[in-house]
Chains A and B, each alone.
Chain A
């Protein structure tokens, strides 16, 4: 069966520090991968999605970037965090030909 992992689960970082959140998927190949941000427990904002290694689409221009160095690995990064980057970050995967997405447990990021 497929599983999706995210780490860390919780992160507190000062403004201006770098960020790296990692997401990995097991039990499938060539998944579509997604990064979402959820603020204040409402509404998911799609940040990035990827349909293959090295292929990244950005939905919202901002302080963040994403990379997909391996088929089942998706990384969310920032060179310098802003206070507004605080939130709950969710990674998700989907089969290439189907619509449903399966989510990881999320990372709660607090920028101080």
Chain B
């Protein structure tokens, strides 16, 4: 069975600094997607970034980028120039095509951006 592990329950960062959130996963499959979702205090789940496993290039979306290490089964999220609005719970998620479209989520990392 596939699993997703986020080993950092809580993190904090100063405004304008850079922070990296860790995620590891376990699968024997070769074709899959990985995602990072953000859940601010409003509790709306927002898709931050996606990475296809067959792509070697790391995905980037503005201040958000990932470090995808397929062999190590690692998928970390880097937030540059942190802003107060980045304060949220961040979830790593794994998607496998032959699982009926189900996402498997990690337990989340609560990020606080301090002024």
Q: Is B55 an interface residue (CB 8 A)?
A: no
B:70-115 near A, CB below 8 Å:
89, 91, 95, 97, 100-103, 105-108
Residues of chain A within 8 A of B102, CB atoms compared:
34, 46, 49, 59
- A-B CB contacts (within 8 Å), total count: 60
Residues of chain B within 8 A of A106, CB atoms compared:
43-45
Within the assembled complex, what's the spacing in Å between the Cα atoms of A25 and B38? 21
Interface size on B, residues (CB 8 A): 24
Q: Kindly specify which of A14-22, A61-69, A77-85, A96-104 makes contact with the partner chain.
A: A96-104
Q: Is B25 an interface residue (CB 8 A)?
A: no
Within the assembled complex, what's the spacing in Å between the Cα atoms of A6 and B46? 15
Q: Is the CB of B108 within 8 A of A94?
A: no
B:27-56 near A, CB below 8 Å:
32-33, 35, 37, 39, 42-47, 50
Instruction: Tell me the smallest distance from the CB of A2 to a CB of chain B, in Å.
Output: 12
Within the assembled complex, what's the spacing in Å between the Cα atoms of A57 and B100? 9
Q: What does DSSP make chain A's interface, helix, strand, loop or mixed?
A: strand
Instruction: Tell me the smallest distance from the CB of B48 to a CB of chain A, in Å.
Output: 10
Q: Is the CB of A105 within 8 A of B44?
A: yes
Q: Is A44 an interface residue (CB 8 A)?
A: yes
Q: Is A27 an interface residue (CB 8 A)?
A: no
Q: Is the CB of B103 within 8 A of A99?
A: yes
Q: Given A49-B101, A57-B100, A99-B50, decide whether A44 and B44 contact each other with a Cβ distance below 8 A.
A: no
Within the assembled complex, what's the spacing in Å between the Cα atoms of A44 and B95? 14
Instruction: Tell me the smallest distance from the CB of B94 to a CB of chain A, in Å.
Output: 9
Residues of chain A within 8 A of B100, CB atoms compared:
49, 51, 57
Q: Given A88-B43, A99-B50, A103-B44, decide whether A46 and B103 contact each other with a Cβ distance below 8 A.
A: yes
B-binding residues in A (CB < 8 A)? 32, 34, 38, 41-44, 46, 49, 51, 57, 59, 88, 90, 92, 94, 96, 98-103, 105-106, 108
| Extra contacts besides A32-B101, A41-B39, A101-B103 (10): CB < 8 Å | A41-B43, A42-B89, A44-B91, A92-B45, A99-B35, A99-B50, A100-B47, A100-B50, A106-B43, A108-B43
